Amino acid sequence: METMQAAGTVNAHFAEKQQFFDHGHSRSYGFRLAQLKILKKAVDTYEDQICEATKTDLNKSSTETFMTEIGVVKSEIEHAMSNLREWMRPEQRPTPLSLHPSSSRIVYEPKGVVLIIGSFNFPFQLNIMPLIGAIAAGNCAVVKPSELAPATAKVIERMLSDFFAVSYISTVQGEGHKVVPELLESHDFHHVFFTGSPAVGSSIAVQASRKLIPFTLELGGKSPGIVDASAKLKVAAKRLVLAKFLNAGQTCVAPDYLLVHESVKEAFVKEVMSTLKKFYGKDPASSKDYGRIINVRHFERIKAYLDEGRIIHGGQYDADTRYIAPTLMEDVPRDASMMREEIFGPIWPIFTWKEREEILEYTRLNRYPLACYIFTSSKAMEKYIVDSVEFGGGCINNALLHVGNHDLPFGGVQSSGQGNYHGWHSFAAFSHAKGVMKTATWFDIWLKYPPFSKFKLSWLKRLM
């Protein structure tokens, strides 16, 4: 029942979508492939408007927008189109002897009408990447972009309404804390895909669980950037600086803080400073490649961190333009709020360590980060970090770019997320894996039927 429509607040066109789905329109291979093609055309058509919108919302340069919002989406659509037939094919599975003569398979079935909720920081791709998975898996979708990036939210709405019927895909706008609970209350969605903060993610999980709606949560955390004594410092500095200061630090997989071996700290900090100068010039405020903080609330939150330690580089800010310079800090107490909260901004606290076990003392203060990056030339160190830090996904001698590999699941662990997506994993997230066994009728093992006897039991014990 369209209670939302009646209330006159938000209209998810849920009943039309349910009907569209129930008639099986979204299921066939041909339909899914055609919709992916349409989505690609939509992104191509709206490319300039997307760039303008992300410039307005976050002062992103066109290159950054292409790299992190448009290019990744196009590449994901192409990947889905090339693999769709294979993904949709039932997967043959072995059957134990005791169940013969049978064959087994997994059939990937669409879930129905799904709700996708995006966050503000990559305001285009974090809505459209999951949408690709929803389409590939044969679902109908409602997209709810973040109200904190209103220009991009409007472009998404225009783009989707230009290219898709509301009975298949549509957009809902508004303040999340009002709109989302209302949507979840009024409609029985078949999956909720949420990208955002752990606090809101947890409230989504509670609401969805009440109705037994499955969900994926793509959340955040404090991801460490670890630099070992054996690291190639120049390249480590370049890769870490890019990952930290892209989007002015408002990236869920940014290296939130640095853990540098004490023997290379001075040399590494020098490399970071010279890299910052190369990337953003002497005055990052005038660089066309340096972003701005999304709103006043986040600007004030991040600015307050500047008082929690010693600034060794940067520290300038401008409230009018919500600019905060790339900033390096030392002597930050472990219990400072900056070390208890996800920084999500361009402030980088640096800590040193001597023995590798000390790294865990830091990472366990904020356990289960979304990402982790280790820069080292030592295989033993690489193994130690991968095996002992519990993180969603990460890189060795790189940062952030694991997210760009379609063949790796992208998601958090525990408090940084539940479930994952990208490539086949997106298809799987929006599908129900239905296990089906087919048994021949020419033979029927009589042992399994009553009346039971000691003889039957002894045979069953041998077979099972």
In angstroms, give the least distance from the CB of 58 to ligand NAD: 12
- The span of 3-11, 35-43, 192-200, 237-245 binding ligand NAD (CB under 6 A) equals 192-200
**All residues at 6 or more sequence positions from 412 whose CB lies less than 8 Å from its CB, including other chains:** 217, 218, 219, 220, 221, 368, 370, 392, 418
Written as six digits, the tokens of 128 are: 């459209």
219 part of the interface to ligand NAD, by CB under 6 A: yes
Long-range pairs, 377-385, Cβ under 8 A, ≥24: 377/228, 377/230, 377/231, 377/232, 378/228, 378/230, 381/228, 381/230, 381/356, 384/356, 385/226, 385/359
Candidates 16, 69, 76, 218; catalytic one: 218
Euclidean distance between CA atoms 428 and 106, whole angstroms: 11
372 part of the interface to ligand NAD, by CB under 6 A: no
| Beta strands in 392-458, from DSSP E residues, in sequence order | 393-396, 417-418, 431-439
Q: Please list every residue from 398 through 427 that binds ligand NAD, using CB under 6 A.
A: 412, 417
Q: 2 or 341: whose CB is closer to ligand NAD?
A: 341
Pairing verdict, β 347-353 and 257-261: parallel
180 part of the interface to ligand NAD, by CB under 6 A: yes
116, 126, 136, 372: which one binds ligand NAD (CB under 6 A): 126
344 part of the interface to ligand NAD, by CB under 6 A: yes
Q: 129 or 260: whose CB is closer to ligand NAD?
A: 129
Written as six digits, the tokens of 42 are: 């939509």
User: Which residue is it, tokens 């499955």?
Assistant: 214
Task: Tell me how many residues contact ligand NAD (CB under 6 A).
Answer: 29
Euclidean distance between CA atoms 424 and 84, whole angstroms: 9
Q: Which of 403, 355, 349 is nearest to 381 (CA)?
A: 355
Written as six digits, the tokens of 415 are: 């408090």
Q: 370 or 381: whose CB is closer to ligand NAD?
A: 370
Q: Is residue 109 among the annotated active site residues?
A: no
224 part of the interface to ligand NAD, by CB under 6 A: no
Contact map string, positions 278 to 317, toward ligand NAD, x by CB under 6 A: ----------------------------------------
119 part of the interface to ligand NAD, by CB under 6 A: yes
Q: Is residue 266 among the annotated active site residues?
A: no
Count other Cβ atoms within 10 Å, centred on residue 335: 9
Q: Which residues bind ligand NAD (CB under 6 A)?
A: 117-121, 126, 144, 146-148, 176-177, 180-181, 195-197, 200, 203-204, 218-220, 252, 342, 344, 370, 412, 417
Q: Which residues are catalytic?
A: 218, 252
